[in-house]
Structure 1
Amino acid sequence: MSEAGQVINRKARAAYGVDGSAREKSRVDSYGNPVPWMTYPAVEYLSQFDFSKNTVFEWGSGNSSAWFSRRFASVISVESEARWYDMGLAGLNDNQTLLLREFDRRGNEEDAAVRAFADAILEQSGGFDVISNDGKLISQPRCTDNAIEKLTPGGLIIFDNSDWLPAQCEKLRKAGFLQVDFHGNGPLNTYTWTTSIFFEPRPDCLLMTNPQAFSRVSKAGRSSHKHVLGMANP
Structure 2
Amino acid sequence: MLKKAIWRILEAGSAAWMNRYVPPLRDNGWFRSRREDRCVDGAGEPLPWLAYPAIDFLERRVSPSLSVFEYGSGASTLWWARRVRSVSSVDHDASWAGKVAAQAPANVEVAHVPLDGTSAYARHILAQGKPFDIVVIDGAERVACVAPAMSSLTAAGVIVFDNSERPEYQEGYRQLGAGGFRRLELVGMAPLIDYQIETSIFYRPGNCLGL
TM-score, normalised with respect to structure 1: 0.80
Decide which of 186, 194, 204 is 1:182's aligned counterpart: 186
CA 1:92–1:132 in structure 2 vs 1: closer, same or farther (change >3 Å)?
A: same
Conserved? CA contact 2:62–2:209, under 8 Å: no
Structure 2 residues not aligned, in runs of 5+: 1-12
CA 1:205–1:9 in structure 2 vs 1: closer, same or farther (change >3 Å)?
A: closer
Decide which of 93, 111, 118 is 2:105's aligned counterpart: 93
- How far the C-alpha of 1:171 sits from its partner, in A, is 1.2
Q: Deviations over 1:151-207 (max 9, x none)?
A: 110111000011211221121011100001001111112221110001112xx3213
Structure 1 residues not aligned, in runs of 5+: 105-110, 210-234
Matched position secondary structure for 2:172: helix
2-structure distance, mates of 1:59, 1:128? 13
- How far the C-alpha of 1:130 sits from its partner, in A, is 0.5
Query: What does 1:18-57 align with in structure 2 at a 5 Å threshold?
Result: 18-57=30-69
- How far the C-alpha of 1:9 sits from its partner, in A, is 2.8
Decide which of 113, 119, 122 is 1:118's aligned counterpart: 122
Match for 1:131: what amino acid? Answer: V
Query: What does 1:1-234 align with in structure 2 at a 5 Å threshold?
Result: 1-103=13-115, 111-112=117-118, 115-136=119-140, 139-164=141-166, 165-201=169-205, 204-208=206-210
Q: Sequence identity of aligned pairs in percent?
A: 34
Match for 1:170: what amino acid? Answer: R
Q: Which residue in the other structure is 1:222 paired with?
A: none
Q: Deviations over 1:111-132 (max 9, x none)?
A: 12xx111111011021001000
- How far the C-alpha of 1:10 sits from its partner, in A, is 2.5
- How far the C-alpha of 1:7 sits from its partner, in A, is 3.2
1-structure distance, mates of 2:187, 2:21? 18
TM-score, normalised with respect to structure 2: 0.89
- Which one has the bigger helix percentage? 2
- The count of aligned residue pairs is 197
Q: Which residue in the other structure is 1:212 paired with?
A: none
Q: Deviations over 1:212-231 (max 9, x none)?
A: xxxxxxxxxxxxxxxxxxxx
